[in-house]
Amino acid sequence: MKIGLDYISVFSGGGNATYARELIRGLSRIDQKNNYYLYTYLHKFLPFYRNEIVHKDNFDYKVGYFCWPYKILKKNIHVFEEQLLFQRSKKDKIDLFHITNPLRFNRYLKNFIITIHDLCYLKESSFIKKSSIDFYQKNFKDILNNCQSIISVSQSTKKDILDNFDFPADKIFVIYEGISKIFKPKPNKDYIKEKFNLNKEYILSVGEIQPRKNLFRLLQSYSQLSSSLRENYELVIAGQSRGGDIMNKLIAEVKKLKIENQVKFLGYVEINDLPYLYSSARVFAYPSLYEGFGLPVLESLACGTPVITSTNSSLPEVLGLGGILVDPYKVEEIKFALENILTKNDLRDNLSKEGIKHSNSFSWEKAAQQTLKIYEKY
């Protein structure tokens, strides 16, 4: 069987890129029978751009997308790009194409399945870029009308699809994301001190800095902790800002709350540093307003750090018994959960053990095995 994949999805940031990258790696470890065609940008074939994450005889890299400088020269390059991918996949006699990111939807492909990570565009407008909202509003019904099946990364996302669209429930398959093997307990305070200049115990939050992550309420709940707790535990926020003025607003909020000396923004953190950052944290706070899955929650659990996260969307599914669920709109609840874990060693130790145990049920090999079963239906 010849299976096509949108390899360009591995180059972006965030959870969707992690999903595409780790799924491909997982498939390469479990499947030597089928042939995989990874469609990438034209310029990625240049020696100084080449980026291959798997090297197996049944995985072949193919040109399927344009990029710089073509997108500067042609305003509607996506029209030509769709035709290029369609013609190349037709020439390669692809039996099934797996679109791992809906933003890569190609209306010319005839036999494809698609992974739906979330329905953010139906929620608050600030949760997602305007360009993405416009894309989904224009294309999502066409996606549903043309795909063979949907892979949903959580029961919550499946429910969102069924609640909002007329789509057969038996054609939506829930396959949880996995977790990279690098995420395991790695407490190393010397490394953290040297790498990030973190000299105190800390509360950690990781994720793209954007409105959906609910960082303003996290700052407010932290500011309401007793002065002794804030003196002993800094609030450390890691993640790249989406852009706009959200970072400036967060800094202004920190000043308004008079916690400038107790809050640190680390910016983007390399993936290999994250296990150390998670493992050395006292608690991981992730009071997101909406998630399709919530990989940072799972990463923290695997590193043995208890999690505070939200009662909404997919987050209870991912958390299991490894943390405390809160209403993300209630600052007092977030504050109380922080106090509990920071001051109760027995509670923290129990949550840590439960979190590690729960995280062991997630793996990219398992996700790849379940995905392969979907491929084989066609």
Q: What is the pLDDT of residues 165-187, one digit of tens each?
A: 999 999 999 999 999 999 999 98
Specify the pTM.
0.91
- Type of residue at 47: P
Judged by phi (left if over 0) then psi (alpha if -120 to 50, else beta), residue 214 lies in left
Q: Contact 341/348 with Cβ under 8 angstroms? A: yes
Domain ranges of the chain: 2-178+363-375, 189-359
User: Do 2-178+363-375 and 189-359 show the same overall fold?
Assistant: yes
Q: Does domain 189-359 have CATH number 3.90.1660.10?
A: no
Per-residue confidence at 202, pLDDT binned at 50, 70, 90? very high
Sheet with 96-99, strands from edge to edge, namely 59-65, 35-41, 2-6, 96-99, 112-116, 150-152, 172-174
pLDDT tens digits along 332-372:
999 999 999 999 999 999 999 999 999 999 999 999 999 99
CATH topology of domain 2-178+363-375: Rossmann fold (3.40.50)
Long-range Cβ pairs for the range 369-374 (8 Å, 24+): 369/30, 370/173, 370/175, 371/23, 371/26, 371/27, 371/98, 371/151, 371/175, 372/27, 372/30, 372/31, 372/34, 374/113, 374/149, 374/151, 374/173, 374/175
